[in-house]
A and B are shown apart, each in its own frame.
Chain A
Amino acid sequence: GQQLNQSPQSMFIQEGEDVSMNCTSSSIFNTWLWYKQDPGEGPVLLIALYKAGELTSNGRLTAQFGITRKDSFLNISASIPSDVGIYFCAGNDLEYGNKLVFGAGTILRVKS
């Protein structure tokens, strides 16, 4: 089935640094969603984007819905140890029956 290309696959960052990750797709999306998953838990929704060009913040998190509707990025500012986890992008794919598809995830590890 359709999958999103999410990058990077993993990253180590120094506490206090800013983080950026992104997702791209070959098809147009109606929505872009960003989730975080802690070990042994289910993914938790961080930010939902509904319009092309939309820029939304949630605390230290900022995400944007790309103008082409085929990409999105998530930024985390001033990272802290509890930011560790797996971040997933997801979206409703117009060309895939509007189904919700997920990226493979970005594993974030913070050096304290």
Chain B
Amino acid sequence: ETGVTQTPRHLVMGMTNKKSLKCEQHLGHNAMYWYKQSAKKPLELMFVYNFKEQTENNSVPSRFSPECPNSSHLFLHLHTLQPEDSALYLCASSQARGQGNTEAFFGQGTRLTVV
């Protein structure tokens, strides 16, 4: 069993659809993240949750809506996306401590294609 599991692995959706990405971590961590990775671009941090509270929204459009019901699960709800939102969406988790977070462990990602 992998430490961070993302589902689905691949998703194709129309611009008027609503879908959700799911992430689950089995590492006992208290911080979870969503990253976006587009072709030929660096990893872009989208959202950070520490102890289930959102601590960062990196100017992400409202068509992306995160949800963190507990420290083990993280969702990314998608609606009315644009073709330029097509990318690999990565979830990660880490342990938040006083001197910063420990190393982050990533899921395998969801390859999203918006048509």
Contact = CB atoms under 8 A, between A and B. Distances in A.
Interface of A: 1, 3, 30-31, 33, 35, 40-45, 48, 88, 90, 92, 94, 98-100, 102-105
Interface string B66-91: 00000000000000000000001010
A103 B42 contact: yes
Interface of B: 4, 6, 33, 42-43, 45, 48, 56, 58, 88, 90, 92, 94, 99-109, 111
B90 A31 contact: no
Given A30-B100, A43-B106, A92-B101, A1 B42 contact: no
14 contacts: A1-B45, A1-B58, A30-B100, A31-B100, A40-B111, A42-B107, A43-B90, A43-B106, A92-B100, A98-B101, A100-B100, A100-B101, A102-B42, A104-B42
A102 B41 CA distance: 11
A43 B105 CA distance: 8
Contacts, number: 58
A31 B103 contact: yes
Nearest to B105: A45
B101 A42 contact: no
Nearest to B88: A40
Contacts of A41: 108-109
Top 8 closest A-B pairs, CB basis? A98-B100, A42-B106, A92-B100, A104-B42, A102-B43, A48-B103, A42-B109, A42-B108
A88 B56 CA distance: 22
B57 to A, nearest CB: 12
A102 B106 CA distance: 13
A103 B43 CA distance: 8
Contact of B103 (A33, A104, A105): A33
Contacts of B33: 100
Contact of A88 (B4, B43, B111): B43
Contacts of B108: 41-42
A100 B99 CA distance: 12
B42 A105 contact: yes
